[in-house]
Amino acid sequence: MKEEDMPIDIRLHRLLDFLITRLICPRDWQKNIITVRQNINNAIQDMPAVDEIANLLAGTYINYFHCKRILEILKETESSTKNIFGQYSSQRMKDWLEIVKLYEKDNIYIAEAAQLLFRNIVYELPSLKKQMIKCKQIQEESLKKEGDYAKNEHAMRENYISSCQQIGIEGKNIKKELLSLLDELPGALNAIATSAKELAPVRNYYVAFLNFTLKKDMDSNCLLLLRHIIEKGNTTTFEFRTGEPPEVVEVTTPVLPLDVDCASTEAADDQIDFGDLITNSESGDDRSSSSPNGDFVHVDREECKPDNVDQIDFGDSEINWDISVETSGTAEFQVLDSGSGGKVAHGTDALSVLENESTRNSFYNDLLELETFLEQRLFEAESAGNDVLSSNLFHNAPSDLQMQSTESLKQMLSSVKSISSLLMTTKLKHLYLIKNSPRYVDRLVESLKSKLETAERMAECQKAVKLKYQEAVEEQKVLHPKIKLIVKKTKILLSEVERDISKRYKNRHVKINGGLSALKQITDY
């Protein structure tokens, strides 16, 4: 094979060394390129409005081959400035002729082109490709995060709505609605007491069972709270404790917080007015007045009336309005001594048995005891495969015990569970805590608000990731044409360099390895 037929293969990263070692360009070529770049920067400030020139100047670093093409275009646009000697008087032509001349001195243009190829293929284009890949990753991650945030927001809002529904409020003005629920508590407890009267046959069955098995009368010591509510209803604790109704009921209402959710102009309306909640005595002669600290005091008019109005001496003595204050078992109630000496229910004694935490728990325990008993009887009945009382153990039992079947036991058990579930609903549990602890209102409000705040944060996160997604889309729109333009011009530069080197070696075929293959990998995204 002849020498001129042998191809010249040059690796891209060794291209500049190839040019220097073969003395095509000097080793210190960079010091001369500075002047060329300065002249180019000055020359492009004054260019004719030609589309091709604009395309050459756009997108990539201007090199020698661009300058040659610009000079050819200017020969046409500046032909009118040519004199009889064939020289151009146009400053544009002079500037670009000077630039091309400086480029061709010592062949520094080919060294700059080799460096530019290496920089574009090895550094700039891979960097732009990484940015493009990162934009796509950001878009995918943003879509996933947006879905997760939307799911979490929906879950928190559903949780908030569910919590409000369990408590029995709408959720628009949380604290005001919670405090207004206290008005429903007495009615709800009275309804439970009314329903509990239906458990009289169940309790009688339990007592009869105990009397028969223990051989003694258990009626006076068995399920006392349940028996009291069945017989007398939701009376005061005083009546349950003493067996007699009080003559005077002194109820001191706990101080509950204002609804700070409302505007300041509506703050006065957000307070709960407890003025009508004080229970008067059965005689109807008792009256109530409130002390400056918000506590309610019963004042008997008959006690304040002197025996003989004419004998009152207003000398130097003063009326003593001081009223002693006693503290009841709970911190929320202040018990005031009316001085009547009669049957006065105050403090926890003034509460109904289902409002009083202690007696309410006892009533609930009675229900659980009854429920456990019935479950055991039902288990024994179903295990025996026949009526539970058909065995020899209950042969001499009263007829009330022997007549009970599995179906009747199931019905009784269902009735007991129904009452216990009514007493311990989520709504009533919150009402018990609200009534006994004003601070619980604030804690409950904060708990509900935190759900909404979390939902709002999720909504803000959705907006943030949507914005991030859109920014990545816009950046991708800018990067895509930029990469295509640089790849296109780099291919042109690569072919120009190969052609230039080929001319120097008798038109032998020159191939720069790592050029086109690298560009192909970059464009595959």
Q: Where are the alpha helices (DSSP H) in 258-356?
A: 301-304
- Residue length, the chain? 525
User: Taking the mean position of all CA atoms in its chain, how far away is CA 471?
Assistant: 25
How confident is the model over 105-110, as a mean pLDDT? 93
Q: What is the pLDDT of residues 111-132, one digit of tens each?
A: 999 999 999 999 999 999 999 9
pLDDT of residue 393: 58
pLDDT of residue 118: 93
User: Do the Cβ atoms of 160 and 455 come closer than 8 Å?
Assistant: yes
Beta strands in 309-364 (DSSP E): 325-327, 334-336, 344-346
pLDDT averaged over every residue in the chain: 78
How confident is the model over 448-467, as a mean pLDDT? 94
Q: What is the pLDDT of residues 147-206, one digit of tens each?
A: 999 999 999 999 999 989 888 888 888 888 888 888 888 898 999 999 999 999 999 888
Sign of CA dihedral 107, 109, 111, 113: negative
pLDDT of residue 395: 63
Round to whole Å and give the CA distance between 186 and 198: 20
| Both tokens assigned to 293 | 């600290």
| Both tokens assigned to 263 | 């505007």
∠ at Cα 136 (133, 138), nearest 5°?
110
Lowest mean per-residue pLDDT among 76-90, 246-260, 276-290, 333-347: 276-290
Residue 403 lies in a domain: no
Number of domains in the chain: 1
Amino acid 344 reads V
Q: What is the pLDDT of residues 336-391, one digit of tens each?
A: 444 445 688 878 888 888 988 899 999 999 999 999 999 998 888 787 654 444 45
CA distances from 207 to 218, 221, 400 (A): 6, 10, 11
Residue 256 lies in a domain: no
Residue 407 lies in a domain: no
| Both tokens assigned to 36 | 């060329």
Q: Which of 267, 184, 256 is nearest to 444 (CA)?
A: 256
- Percent of the chain's residues with pLDDT above 70: 76
Q: Is the pLDDT of residue 333 over 70?
A: no
Residue 412 lies in a domain: no
Amino acid 429 reads K
Q: Is the pLDDT of residue 2 over 80?
A: no
User: Taking the mean position of all CA atoms in its chain, how far away is CA 84?
Assistant: 83
User: Do the Cβ atoms of 295 and 338 come closer than 8 Å?
Assistant: no
Q: What's the DSSP call for residue 314?
A: -
| Both tokens assigned to 92 | 């544009």
- Percent of the chain's residues with pLDDT above 90: 34
| Both tokens assigned to 420 | 């216990």
Q: Is the pLDDT of residue 277 over 90?
A: no
Residue 300 lies in a domain: no
Lowest mean per-residue pLDDT among 168-177, 240-249, 287-296: 287-296
Residue 367 lies in a domain: no
Round to whole Å and give the CA distance between 152 and 313: 77
Residue 510 lies in a domain: yes
Q: Of residues 481 and 258, which shows the higher confidence score?
A: 481
Round to whole Å and give the CA distance between 426 and 403: 37
| Cβ neighbour number for residue 415 with a 10 Å cutoff | 19
pLDDT of residue 348: 82
**Residue 501, Cβ density class (10 Å: 0-12 exposed, 13-18 middle, ≥19 buried):** buried
**Residue 399, Cβ density class (10 Å: 0-12 exposed, 13-18 middle, ≥19 buried):** exposed
User: Do the Cβ atoms of 9 and 516 come closer than 8 Å?
Assistant: no
> What range does the domain containing 92 cover?
8-133+468-524
Residue 366 lies in a domain: no
Confidence of residue 431 (pLDDT cuts 50, 70, 90): confident
